[in-house]
Structure 1
Amino acid sequence: MKTNIGISETNTAEVAHELSKILADEFVLYTKARNAHWNVEGPDFVNKHLFFETQYNELADIVDNVAERIRQLGHYAPATLGAYLELTELTEIHRQRNDGIGFIKELLEDHEHIIFTLRKHIGAFASQYHDEGTSDFITGLMEKHEKMAWFLRAHLQ
């Protein structure tokens, strides 16, 4: 059934495409947080293991919400690893040491990248595509990433 929410099909398609790229970034970041949780080593293991668990749980909710926003617009969310790797702007880093600080720096860079991406789309979604709902939605996502980045940054002080 056609989605009738007051936004043209062309505009919902454009917004869904941009959200698909954001979803891919979110999923890659989620996977990297899982990697940090599973593989962190060092004298602060327990603290970092639990910290990364908190991060990936928050990211799991974000991934689900972005995919559901795409569906609300009447489009299908990408849901394969291949699609995510084609759409993401993030990279996988292969490290030689699995220390907490290294994982934190890497995750922080990715959060900051996503914050910049979301900030770039807030105005465009509202003004260019007439989708204030998605603009508001990604503003909330940006705030979540800003908080998560702050928590990561605090470990580097």
Structure 2
Amino acid sequence: MSKSESAVLDTRESKELKTPTDLARKGVVEIAEELKHLLADTFVLYIKTKNFHWHMSGPHFRDYHLLLDEHADQIFEITDEIAERARKIGETTLHSIADIAHFQRLKDNSEAFVAPKDMLSELHSDNMQLVKFMRETHEITSKHNDVATTSLLENWIDQAERRAWFLFETLRAH
């Protein structure tokens, strides 16, 4: 058995989830912490977007309903990528709703009724805040030479900026 095969076997036997990586341990810990926050915020934004999608009303219902459904699908898609990135670099990720609540920075909205324009405005603001958080994470991943996470973040930033742009223009149009 080779030394690397032995290391993988030892990891399995110890029941740890430390996937081998060439990134420095200090960097991995810092990046994984940021990814937990980012994943929690992404779940919060996903749920809020679906909430507003489900509870949309008014004369522009169909347009807003479809826009928010498209946004929610896009947001949900990156949740798996964020979590898997943390695992690829040798760390764990969120385990529960309690973890999401612990790590989230974006605010929930549990109001029984939110006016459509307020929904769009809040989602615009949240997407802009998510862009800010992603840029901060990008700085950390760049500092630790985590090229793969940095590259993913660039795509996610572009997607969030696009969502914010569509929400902004939709608000201006109505």
CA contact (8 A) 1:41 1:98 kept: no
Residue among 100, 106, 112 paired with 2:128: 112
Residue among 3, 28, 34 paired with 1:12: 28
How many angstroms does 1:55 deviate by?
0.8
State the secondary structure of the residue aligned to 1:105: helix
Deviations 1:37-58 (A, max 9, x none): 1111112112211111111111
CA distance in 2 between partners of 1:56 and 1:123 (Å): 26
Can you give the 5+ residue segments of structure 2 that lack an aligned partner in the other structure? 1-7, 9-17
Q: Which residue of 1 aligns with 2:69?
A: 53
How many angstroms does 1:65 deviate by?
1.2
Residue among 95, 104, 114 paired with 1:98: 114
Instruction: Tell me the TM-score normalised to structure 2 length.
Output: 0.83
Instruction: Tell me the TM-score normalised to structure 1 length.
Output: 0.91
Q: Which residue of 1 aligns with 2:99?
A: 83
How many angstroms does 1:97 deviate by?
3.5
* Identity in percent: 27
CA distance in 2 between partners of 1:13 and 1:47 (Å): 42
Q: Which residue of 1 aligns with 2:90?
A: 74
> Which of structures 1 and 2 has the bigger CA Rg?
2
State the secondary structure of the residue aligned to 1:71: helix
How many angstroms does 1:94 deviate by?
4.0
Q: Which residue of 1 aligns with 2:169?
A: 154
Can you give the 5+ residue segments of structure 1 that lack an aligned partner in the other structure? none
CA contact (8 A) 2:40 2:103 kept: yes
CA contact (8 A) 1:125 1:131 kept: yes
Deviations 1:70-113 (A, max 9, x none): 11112222031111111011111344633321111111111111
Moved more, 109-118 or 97-106: 97-106
How many angstroms does 1:12 deviate by?
1.1
Deviations 1:89-145 (A, max 9, x none): 111134463332111111111111110111122232112x23122122212111110
CA RMSD of aligned residues (A): 1.5
